[in-house]
Chain A
Amino acid sequence: MQPDLRLIENPLDRLARVLEGVLVVASRPLSLDELAEAAGEDPERVETALGLLAGRFREGRSGIVLEQVAGGWAFRAAREAAGACGRLFDRPVARGLSAAAMETLAVIAYLGPVSRPEIARLRGVAADSAVAGLVERGLVAEAGRAGEGGAVHYETTPLFERVFGLAGREELPDLDDVGADAGEIRARLESIAERRGA
C-alpha cells in the first residue's frame, strides 16, 4: 500500500501530530514554552503548528476542541458533546457555588494575591469558610504571606481560568466598568436622607 507522503514528509504537520499527542496526555493547559521544550522545537514553529491543530480541532469539525485557556493550550470536549458528558460525568468544582463564594472568588480574582482580612473588609463578612471552600475546590490557592508571619495571601488558580473559560485574568472586565462609583452612591444616600427628612 502506498504511504501518505504528505503526512510523513511535511515537518510542520509532523510537529502538529506530536503536539496533539502531548496535549492528549496533559490534564492541564500547557504553555507554549512547555510544548516547545517537550517537542524540542522552536516556540515560533510550535505556535504555527498549534494554529494548524486549532483549525483541525474546532467546534463543528471535531468532537475535541483545542483552545487557548488559562495561559496555555488544552483540549476540551466540543459543545455538542456537552449533554452526553453531563449524563456521564460530574463537575464538582463548579457545582453549587454560593453567592458568598462567588463574591469571595471575585475579590481574589481581581485583587489577588489578597488576604482573608482584606476580603472580609470588602465584603463585611468573615471570609474564612468561603475561602476554605474555594481552596478545597481548587479554584484558589495560597500565594505566600505578607512578610514574615503576615497573613496568608490567596490567588486564583489555572483551574479557575479554565472553569470560567478565560485565557487569563486579563480577560476579566475592568472593575471600574462593572460597579457604581462612590459619587453616585453618595448622591443616592443623600437623596434618601432628604426624602426621610434626616
Chain B
Amino acid sequence: MTGIAVRDLPLDLDAFQGPFDLLLTLVLRDELELPDVEVAEIVVAFVERAADRDALDLAACGEFLVLVAALLELKARELFPGEEVVDLDPEEAADELAERLAAYRRVRAAAGWLEERLAGEGERWFRVGPPPVAPARAPVEVPAQDPAHLGAAIRRLAVEPPAPSLRHMGTFPPVSQFLSRFRAVLSRRGRFLFDREVARLSRVEQAVAFLALLELRKAGEVTITQLAPFEPISVCSPTSA
C-alpha cells in the first residue's frame, strides 16, 4: 500500500476548497476564518481516503491526528474567546462530551424534522409581499390663520437685503509696493527686521507686506530666519547673509 499524503488530502468544504496543506497555510496566515471550517468534514474526507487503502497507514493517521487536534484547539479558542480553560477529570469530560453530543443530536433531529416538514409543505403556496398602504392619518388641526399675517411675513422676507460692504477691498495696497520698498531697504542696509518694518502699518497692509516677503523668498532674493515661533522675522539678502 502506498502512504496517504496528508498534506495533499483534497477538501471540498463550504468555507474552503483545495488541499489540506493550503488550508493549514491559510489558517496560519489568518486568511481563513477557522470557526467557519467544519473540522468534521475534514475528518470524514481523511477517513474515506484511508478506507480506500488495504491496510492502515499509521504514520499518516498519526500526522493527521496531530494536525486535526491542533486545528480543533485553535478553533475552540476562536469560538469561545476569553473562556476559562477548566481542567476536567476524565469522568467529567466524558459526561460533558456526552451532554454536548446529545444536545447536538437533538438539534440535528429537530433540523431533520423541519426538513421533512418543509418537504411535506411543498404544495403550500401563499401570497407574500409588503402590506398594503396604511390608511391616511387624520390631518393635523391648525388654528384659523389670518391671511394678512402671512402676507406681512412674506413681505418682510421679500425685502431686498443690504448690499455687502466692499470697503475693505479698497484698502488693499498692491504687493508690488512692498516688493519695491523691501528691495530698497535691502540695497541700503542688507538686512532688516520684518516686524519693525511693518509695525506702523494696518493689519491688511501687514498681510500684503508678508505676501511680498514670501514672493521675495520664492524668487531667492532674501533669506528669512526666525529663532522661534512668534519671534521677530529677520530678513537679509543672500549676499550679506
List A residues at the B interface (Cβ < 8 Å).
Answer: 25-28, 74-77, 79, 81-82, 85-86, 89, 91, 93-94, 97-100, 102-103, 105-107, 109-110, 117, 120-126, 128-129, 159, 162-166, 172-173, 175-176, 178-186, 189-190
Which chain B residues lie closer than 8 Å to A105 at the CB level? Answer: 111, 114
Q: Name which residue of chain B comes closest to A120, CB basis.
A: B79
- B105 near A180 with CB under 8 A, answer yes
Cα–Cα, bound, A105→B123 (Å): 21
If A126-B79, A186-B94 touch, whether A163 touches B107 (CB-CB below 8 Å) is no
Which chain B residues lie closer than 8 Å to A76 at the CB level? Answer: 124-126
- B110 near A179 with CB under 8 A, answer yes
Cα–Cα, bound, A157→B120 (Å): 20
Cα–Cα, bound, A89→B131 (Å): 19
Partner of A182, one of B98, B120, B121: B98
- A163 near B118 with CB under 8 A, answer yes
Binds A, one of B32-40, B156-164, B232-240: B32-40
Whether B97 sits at the interface, judged by CB under 8 Å, is yes
List B residues at the A interface (Cβ < 8 Å).
Answer: 14, 33, 35-38, 40, 79-80, 94-95, 97-99, 101-115, 117-118, 120-132
Q: Name which residue of chain B comes closest to A93, CB basis.
A: B128
If A76-B126, A165-B124, A189-B94 touch, whether A124 touches B104 (CB-CB below 8 Å) is yes
Q: Name which residue of chain A comes closest to B102, CB basis.
A: A182
- B111 near A27 with CB under 8 A, answer no
Partner of B104, one of A81, A122, A173, A186: A122
CB distance from B105 to the nearest CB of A (A): 4
**What are the 7 A-B residue pairs with the smallest beta carbon separation, nearest first?**
A179-B106, A126-B35, A82-B123, A186-B98, A106-B110, A178-B109, A76-B126
Cα–Cα, bound, A117→B74 (Å): 16
Which chain A residues lie closer than 8 Å to B112 at the CB level? Answer: 178
Which chain B residues lie closer than 8 Å to A86 at the CB level? Answer: 125
Which chain A residues lie closer than 8 Å to B40 at the CB level? Answer: 124
Which chain A residues lie closer than 8 Å to B125 at the CB level? Answer: 76-77, 81-82, 85-86, 89, 91
Partner of B121, one of A102, A163, A181, A183: A163
Which chain A residues lie closer than 8 Å to B124 at the CB level? Answer: 76, 79, 82, 163, 165
Q: Report how many A-B pairs have Cβ atoms within 8 Å.
A: 136
A-B contact pairs, 22 of them (CB 8 A): A25-B132, A76-B124, A76-B125, A76-B126, A82-B122, A99-B111, A103-B108, A106-B110, A123-B104, A124-B40, A163-B121, A165-B120, A166-B117, A172-B110, A176-B106, A180-B102, A182-B95, A184-B102, A186-B95, A186-B98, A189-B97, A190-B94
Cα–Cα, bound, A183→B102 (Å): 9
- B105 near A103 with CB under 8 A, answer no
- A100 near B126 with CB under 8 A, answer no
Which chain B residues lie closer than 8 Å to A93 at the CB level? Answer: 128
Which secondary structure dominates chain B's binding surface? helix
- A94 near B118 with CB under 8 A, answer yes
- B118 near A27 with CB under 8 A, answer no
If A27-B130, A179-B109 touch, whether A164 touches B118 (CB-CB below 8 Å) is yes
- B102 near A75 with CB under 8 A, answer no
Q: Name which residue of chain A comes closest to B34, CB basis.
A: A126
Which chain A residues lie closer than 8 Å to B114 at the CB level? Answer: 102, 105-106, 109, 164
If A125-B36, A163-B124, A186-B98 touch, whether A102 touches B14 (CB-CB below 8 Å) is no
Q: Name which residue of chain A comes closest to B123, CB basis.
A: A82
CB distance from B170 to the nearest CB of A (A): 62
Which chain A residues lie closer than 8 Å to B115 at the CB level? Answer: 102
Q: Name which residue of chain B comes closest to A88, CB basis.
A: B125
Cα–Cα, bound, A123→B40 (Å): 11
Q: Name which residue of chain B comes closest to A129, CB basis.
A: B36
- A27 near B110 with CB under 8 A, answer no
- B107 near A103 with CB under 8 A, answer yes
Cα–Cα, bound, A121→B113 (Å): 21
- B131 near A185 with CB under 8 A, answer no
CB distance from B134 to the nearest CB of A (A): 12
CB distance from A108 to the nearest CB of B (A): 10
